Amino acid sequence: MLVLVVDSSTPAVTAALVEVSADGVALRAHRCTVDARAHGELLAPEVDAVLAEAGARPADLAAIVAGLGPGPFTGLRVGLVTAATMGQVLGVPTYGVCSLDGIGHPVAAGEPVLAVSDARRREVYWAVYDGAGQRIAGPEVSAPAVAAERARDLAATVAVGDGAHRYADVLGLPVRAEPRFPDPLELARLAAERIRAGAPGERLTPLYLRRPDAVASIARKPVLP
């Protein structure tokens, strides 16, 4: 089954086509551009390009997988709205996967792992995975020091992700070089069971983790002296 994977939760704007079969998930085509300011421009041409590279038409897609974040809101929405609208037209199910799982899950091999992405404003989005790749904490948004403390409590021995590189000093853990950003093949693997079973699709609800910046307007200032 041909499946489209999109993730726009980090500066890496990603589209991939994967083949989900009974015995595995294989990458057919992949585009990724790291540019935190151009998610809206980049993603659709990438989707177009992976389809063209695989010689496929949109109607050949059996499902769509999208990284739900957490991630900076504006960019994150691009991936989710792209997946949701394409799923609507094609009548195929859409499945969401926590984007941090696409960073932490592949690294977990016996020891707990801290997966970290940049949340801007000197904060990080993070989650902790056990040795089998199961998420045991998060996703959360907090100062890197808070993530470091929780990771220590959960006996994480390694950190991974773009945010881990950025805040390596504060986290105090060895940093795995890759994946730096959510791995689309991994996101597809995490949804593969649902895809194979033809499970009903889900509404793609972003993991914002933060409330909108909305300040109730204060009482009106008088204009008379």
**Applying CB under 8 A, which residues contact another protein?**
38-45, 47-48, 57-58, 73-74, 77-78, 80-86, 88-90, 206, 208, 212-217, 220, 222-224
- Closer to another protein by Cβ: residue 48 or 178: 48
CB of 101 to another protein, least distance (A): 21
DSSP state of 91: T
CB of 112 to another protein, least distance (A): 33
CB of 3 to another protein, least distance (A): 14
- Closer to another protein by Cβ: residue 84 or 146: 84
| Percent helix, strand and coil across the chain, each to the nearest 5 | 30, 30, 40
**Alpha carbons 126 and 141: distance in angstroms, whole number:** 6
- Closer to another protein by Cβ: residue 78 or 156: 78
CB of 145 to another protein, least distance (A): 26
- Closer to another protein by Cβ: residue 21 or 85: 85
- Closer to another protein by Cβ: residue 22 or 220: 220
**Alpha carbons 156 and 162: distance in angstroms, whole number:** 17
CB of 214 to another protein, least distance (A): 4
Those residues with Cβ within 8 angstroms of residue 54's Cβ, 6 or more apart along the chain or in another chain: 2, 17, 28, 29
Closest to 104 measured CA to CA, from 96, 113, 95 = 113
Q: Contact, 131 vs 109, CB < 8 A? A: yes
